[in-house]
Amino acid sequence: MIVRDKFFIDGSWTSPSTATTIDVIDPATEQVTGVVPAGSAQDIDGAVQAANRAYPGWAATDAGVRADFLGAIADGIEARKDEIAALITSEVGTPITFSENVHVGSTITYFRDSEKALRDFNFEEQYNASTLIRKEPVGVVGAITPWNYPLVQVAAKLAPALATGCTVVLKPSEVAPLCIFVLAEIIQEVGLPAGVFNLVTGYGPEAGEPMATHPLVNLLSFTGSTGAGTRVAALGAADVKRVTLELGGKSASVVLPDADLSAAVAATVADCYSNSGQTCCAHTRLVVPRDRLSEVESLAVAAAESFTVGSPTDRSTQIGPVVSEIQLERVRAHISKAIDDGAVLLTGGAGRPDGTEHGYFVRPTVFSGITTSMPIAQEEVFGPVLVILAYDSVQEAIDIANDSSYGLGGAVWSTNHDSAVDVARSIRTGQVSINGSKATPDVPFGGFKKSGIGREGGVYAFEEFLEIKAIY
CA distance 121 to 50: 27
CA distance 356 to 28: 9
Catalytic site residue from 246, 297, 456, 464: 246
CA distance 421 to 403: 19
* Secondary structure (3-state) at 64: helix
CA distance 30 to 77: 28
Residue 179 CA, chain-centre distance (Å), reads 15
Indicate the residue type of 471: I
For residue 426, the number of C-alpha atoms closer than 13 Å in the C-beta half-sphere is 17
Strands 219-223 and 21-26: unpaired
Catalytic site residue from 166, 179, 272, 280: 280
Q: What is the DSSP string of 143-205?
A: EE--SSSTTHHHHHHHHHHHHHT-EEEEE--TTS-HHHHHHHHHHHHHTPPTTSEEE----II
Query: 266, 298 in Cβ contact below 8 A?
Result: no
Helix (H), strand (E) counts: the chain: 16, 23
272 is annotated as an active-site residue: no
179 is annotated as an active-site residue: no
CA distance 44 to 217: 11
Query: 138, 75 in Cβ contact below 8 A?
Result: no
Q: So which residues are the catalytic ones?
A: 246, 280
